[in-house]
Amino acid sequence: MKTAEDRQNNTYLALDSGGTKVAAVLYDGRFEPLATAFCGSLRANTTPAAQVEANFESMVRQLGLKDGQRIEVVAGTYEHAVGERLRKRFRVGMDSAGGYTGSDPFAAGLFGEMNMGLSAAGVFGDGMLALSGTGATVFARAGSKCLSGGGYGAAVADEGSGYWISREAMITAIRGYEGRGEATLLTDVVLHHFGGPQFDRSRFREAVFSIYAGNRSPVARVAELVPEVVEAAAAGDNASARILTEAGDLLALQLLSLARMNGISEQVPVAISGSVWRKNPLFLTAFTTRLQERYTEPAKAPALIIPRFAPLMGVLMRQMYEENGALSEADYAFLEARYGQFRYEI
């Protein structure tokens, strides 16, 4: 097994490939950053093939990777096709003869959203995770079991996700525009977000139908509306407030169901992850209010864990934990100094 000193010259790639965007970090065996990359989605179910190709090449350029370069481990969340492409183009865990060395103790491969999110929150044992980004899923790690609930995708029931919030907002906006629902700020939000400030209400349908044009999927385009729904709620729009409150409640109900179905102790900590939580107090309040049903003594319930870092950093944090057995305040200070752009704040 390689020692920490042996691994200093290794290159690692952490990858968080979401439905609308990708973040990546290339780093060495001392956890020093070598390069970072941000690009559009690599997911075939949300992005046309040509755009996936362009996004992948953008990521490679930003990371400064050269064809055939050795990468000890690629870990994080990504589709199987992305992993295959990386392995074909680069020597991922391969020796000079093209064989897998298996020499690194962190050869974890596909790290997974649950492990990445819990690790970013400093939870390395049992834990539950409520993830809400473009999609939404709840997870639990209990002993040797890895469990999940929800997360059935935009075509079925992605309740509590950014896409679900945005789709409900668009439906409400359309009903308001057509006079078969309440008047709401969301009508103008949708009009101007998808059409532009120059669009008036006579072009509302044109603005909505623009989601089907261009090189991004309608799901990805719709999901990006969340921050403006939050702003509308803060401005006093009742419809926006109801949507955000219902979304937080639905996500908590999924987590409660997962815990109940699998007999998970109420003392198992709960952490959050994903972009929808950010600057979204109605969503957070609804979630935490419903979550109190989990506890026999709510006043003594453990606090909801807000991660210090975005999920991508969970890859590095887990590796540090595996090597050292714990993360110290000095480790956290190191990560904040080197990877400040990946701080997670809500």
d(CA 245, CA 290): 11
Interacting residues of 8 by C-beta distance below 8 A, sequence separation 6+ = 28, 29, 30
119-148 b/e (C-beta count within 10 Å ≥ 16 → b): bbbbbbebbbbbbbbbbbbbbbbbeeeebb
d(CA 78, CA 74): 10
CA angle, 341 then 343 then 346, to 5°:
130
Running DSSP on this structure, what letter comes out for residue 186? Answer: H
* Segment 235-291, tens digit of pLDDT: 999 999 999 999 999 999 999 999 999 999 999 999 999 999 999 999 999 999 999
pLDDT of residue 107: 44
pLDDT of residue 94: 52
CATH level 2 (architecture), domain 6-116+310-342:
2-Layer Sandwich (3.30)
Angle at which helix 281-291 crosses helix 226-234, to 10 degrees, equals 90
pLDDT of residue 89: 94
Closest CA to 317 of 77, 63, 9, 14: 14
pLDDT of residue 248: 98
Q: H-type helices in 145-291, by residue range?
A: 162-177, 186-195, 204-209, 218-223, 226-234, 238-261, 281-291
pLDDT of residue 98: 39
CA angle, 306 then 307 then 309, to 5°:
150
pLDDT of residue 19: 76
CATH code for the domain defined by 124-306:
3.30.420.40
Closest CA to 342 of 318, 304, 293, 307: 307
Stretches in the chain below the pLDDT threshold 70: 1-7, 94-111
pLDDT of residue 65: 97
Residues spanned by CATH 3.30.420.40 within the chain?
A: 124-306
H or E stretch at 1: none
pLDDT of residue 3: 53
pLDDT of residue 53: 93
What is the three-class DSSP state of 57?
helix
